[in-house]
Structures are given as structure tokens and as C-alpha cells.
Amino acid sequence: MVNMIKYEPLGNHIVVEMPSVEKETKSGIIKSQQMLKEEESKRDGHAKVVAVSQEVKNVKIGDTVIPKGQGFMVMIDEIEYFQMNMFDVLGVVKENGASSITNFPV
């Protein structure tokens, strides 16, 4: 399967896209930088897989995973992604549970 981004991680690594944080409230109030940082640190933990190395066999592109939080940020085409070791994935969200996740851009 071809990676969704122009990048291929090596070893047992995957690259995930973290859910976005809304920059303003539903009532139209723009959130402060401090509030945005706090919300980013409290995200629900779901992440969408956008690239996998050739060695990774049990997770595929498009899966929604719950990472342990260990890894590092990578900048690809001016978009920030999270690269992590496959061993730091706690689990894969199955189809019937993924319908409640709505923060990923289409």
C-alpha cells in the first residue's frame, strides 16, 4: 500500500496524524495560544496512520490507533506529523468504534 504522504519511515516506525484542535469555540470565540496548547496536550489519544515502514505488518494506512505518546514530530510538506515506533501503539480502533471520531480532516 502506498503511503498517504511523501515519506516512508524506516524500521518499525509509523507516522500518524493527530486530531486537530479547533481554534475557536462553537460560539465563535477565538481561543488563546495557552488554551490551544492545553487542549492539544489533552487530546483523546486517537491518531490516523498516514505512513508505515515496509517492516510494519499489523497496522495499515488509514487505521486509527491509540499511541502511547512516545515519538517525535516530523514536518512533511509544511504539515506536522507524529512518528513513532510500532511498539508504542497501544491498540487499533476497530471500524464499529471509529465512527465516534470526527476530528480528522477529510
36-to-19, 22, 39, 90 alpha-carbon distances in Å: 13, 8, 5, 25
Q: Which of 64, 59, 51, 68 is CA-nearest to residue 94?
A: 64
Under the banding of pLDDT at 50, 70 and 90, the label for residue 46 is confident
Average pLDDT, the chain: 82
Q: pLDDT tens across 67-95, in order? A: 887 788 899 988 889 899 998 898 998 87
